[in-house]
Structure 1
Amino acid sequence: MRRRFTDLDNTWPAGLLRRLAAMVYDLFLVVALWMLMGFIAVALNQGEANESPLFHSLLLVATFVFFAFFWMRGGMTLGMQAWRLRVQTNDGMSITLVQSLVRFVAACVSLAAFGLGYWWILFDTEKRSWSDIASNTRVVVVSKSKVSDRKNSGLQ
């Protein structure tokens, strides 16, 4: 279910360094998820490492599910919460599953192009990355008071 964010006047476009810091936080969580899936796969294979294309596809899908869940639920992954970032539509709504998929694919392309899609933030007048432009979304910085209100209401 989509929701409208209420604090639109207290946000501003997120810069590159803050986004990269949030990405590092989320990377730790994604690696932990991959390790858990790897342990399960090894256990199911009686101790053999699983390097099949199916396993790698499952890792990719699990990574997408991780990001899509947080982006659609409240606009913030755990790393984004730490750096007070939120992804939203241009009109202040939570993003859809299709927008999440487009963001994820564009982010993969951006990273594969040596991060060029994120360096783009430095040149775009609205501080948008390729994934923002492709999915018609934006990443904003949320004021401190709104993040603490969110934590107190149990919407972490």
Structure 2
Amino acid sequence: MKITTGPAGWWRRMFAFLYELLLLIAVVLLAGGISQGVFQLLTGLPVTALPEHLLASALHFTWVMSVAFAYCAWCWRGGQTLAMRTWRICLVKSDGSPLGWREVGIRFAVVVICTLPCAPFWIFARHHADLRIVAWLLTALFFLPYLWALLDKERRFLHDRLAGTQLLIAPPRV
């Protein structure tokens, strides 16, 4: 794919991120539903019993994260997710070449580290007021990669900076 117009703007990337979030939530919900269905079939227990089984919970989490990684890796190695196609954004290495497994792994790991802890702590903070400060700090961690782009000289997100990738404007599809 030939990129002609340069780096994608911050707002374009943010709107693509929000759209991507909706798509990824659907992928994760589908993967979670499959995992819960398998749990019910194998154990005969209701889905509400899943958190009580440490091994089953760990396998469920591993499965959901693996599916999320597979979705991201498949799309990123191809240069575009559905949201990126919609907003005409292409993901490439800093030198313009397609992403390898190293870049995909680093990018995914940074995104997961910054986003994953936020939601559970807000759930706990609703019931334990002393955890609210931790929830707010984790919310700051959630926004760090995107705020980083405002300070970065090339306006890259933190995960793009660390992975050596960049988001460019893709040419219109004909």
- 1:66 aligned residue: 71
Residues 1:32 and 2:30 are matched in the alignment: no
**2:35, 2:63 within 8 Å by CA — same for their partners in 1?**
no
Question: Structure 1 76/120 Cα, relative in aligned 2: closer, same or farther at 3 Å?
Answer: same
User: What value does the CA root-mean-square deviation take over the aligned residues?
Assistant: 1.8
Residues in 2 aligned to 1:86 and 1:124: alpha-carbon distance in whole angstroms: 19
- 2:46 aligned residue: 48
Q: Which runs of 5+ in 2 are unaligned?
A: 52-56, 116-137
- 1:48 alignment partner AA: P
- 1:22 aligned residue: 16
Q: How does 1:1-156 map to 2 (within 5 A)?
A: 5-7=1-3, 10-46=4-40, 48-49=46-47, 50-51=50-51, 52-73=57-78, 75-111=79-115, 113-144=141-172, 148-149=173-174
**2:76, 2:104 within 8 Å by CA — same for their partners in 1?**
yes
SS at structure 2 position matched to 1:76: coil
- 2:32 alignment partner AA: G
Tell me the TM-score normalized by structure 2. 0.72
Percentage identity across aligned positions?
Answer: 29
Q: Which structure 1 residue ranges, 4+ long, deviate > 4 Å from structure 2?
A: none
- 1:89 alignment partner AA: K
Residues in 1 aligned to 2:168 and 2:152: alpha-carbon distance in whole angstroms: 14
Deviation, structure 1 residue 43? 2.2
- 2:84 alignment partner AA: M
Q: Which has the larger radius of gyration?
A: 2
**2:89, 2:170 within 8 Å by CA — same for their partners in 1?**
yes
Deviation, structure 1 residue 62? 1.0
Tell me the TM-score normalized by structure 1. 0.80
**1:14, 1:127 within 8 Å by CA — same for their partners in 2?**
no
Q: Which runs of 5+ in 1 are unaligned?
A: 150-156
Residues in 2 aligned to 1:45 and 1:58: alpha-carbon distance in whole angstroms: 12
**1:110, 1:118 within 8 Å by CA — same for their partners in 2?**
no
Deviation, structure 1 residue 110? 3.7
